Chain A
């Protein structure tokens, strides 16, 4: 699943560690989500969306082949 977390994070000037702490997950998890290697759970996706004041669909792009 593609997402624009890296861009949003860069805009805010946050490191992966900062975002991980804000969301309550490990830095490795943020890294895997950013690279599209791991799809977050719904609560985590909501936390990310709320943090960036965006909708889930505004951040994550789901395609059938994902």
Chain B
């Protein structure tokens, strides 16, 4: 009986466990079918979708920046170079704890206050998701040390890139400009695909004006990356097209000579080859070292440069607008001849002052005792104001402005150098529009002697002088002569723009030029001190008033503070009969053009033409 019941129990158990095993088996199959249905959905239905995602995960397109074109001077001296450098960059958007990260980085690489300061400065103007450099020029040891620990620093990368350097530093800063990091304002202007992978762009000078030639075209690489973004291999690539090398007209020997000639003076020298419009030298003194600007200058350092009393960042050669003073007289003279208002024999009488018909106001000549009767040549040699008052009056402001405009005054010359300003030749329209006042006939007179609202840059003066030297053939000034594809056998000349000023009789150019030679050669000439035995110079002195004197006050340089003193100007070209160089010099607060500015021009011409540097002791010449 007991055995029976046991047997019954056993059979019941067998059935129970058997049934449960079957139920369990069904449940197992049901659960696994769930998994399989899910897998079919992932691997069959949505396969395409996930394939794309997987591909996106592993393939990244990386831009390959082109190397920037190099810049050479006229004789092949390298002025702008690229050198490889490692910098440590932080992508701020990818870093959670920035101060902590920087503190930890400071443990393995050297970070000084300057680095931190520059970092803060650049951080403020960064482009989102672009690295901000914390340290520049890492040593190979530092790169190695960081690489070992790089896993600890997500969002921090070592970047190898070509950094622009300017071997001659201050000497070329104002002519070349510099490249710097693309800022948020610039990012909107540029074609972002062209600048993919490049963080530098020309910020001024030739670097900015020829950005299109120098930059080149970005290439790309399709690379396979792992989850940490490390590149494993290249799948496909299109190489970048390197930027073109530029060959300049600029002659670094002359540039150096011009800088030396200015010495400690604040001022500018622009030298142009009249035959081409090529800029041989472009100096603005004082200058600055452009190299720190490339990777981002520290705030304090920048501040110091920006607010230095001598304004080293200010490019006087193309942005400095000064009243041209008497240097404008040859051009006004030519306008008179060209318009038939005067001829060379026409004599005007200078009593020391000039009165407009029916007016009582006295327009004074710089020589209060007057020059007596003077024709054009004598008026130029002695810089007689009264002659040019009358000439300007007869020409009228419209004709005067037109001819001066042909020489390049009153508008940007269009030089291939960024940041140029256009100066100003005042006119009726200008005055009515800007000052909301009527034009007085007396203002025409002031324009005739290059004072008042009349403004010109040293570059404009050099261009006008070169045009004069060239008998009216005006060339738009160019700094870059030719561009060369790296590796190409020859450089291609860049286009030039020119026009010809019609003076009617070509002889009129000779007449003005002859008068200009007499400025230097005549014993009464205002620049007689710079006469050279080796070649003939044609020039004109000038003085730009900084401080307007009261009606009956006498100008006494020694009594004025330096900053109040007149600017000394001088324009010249040489050799007078076959001009190869035209120079404009301005020495700020230098006083008199003939004694201060003219010797600078002479030294520049000597350096270029190979003359002797003997200059007669500048006399305390009178005149303007």
Tell whether A pairs with B.
Answer: no
Residues of chain B touching chain A, judged by Cβ–Cβ distance below 8 Å, are none
Residues of chain A touching chain B, judged by Cβ–Cβ distance below 8 Å, are none
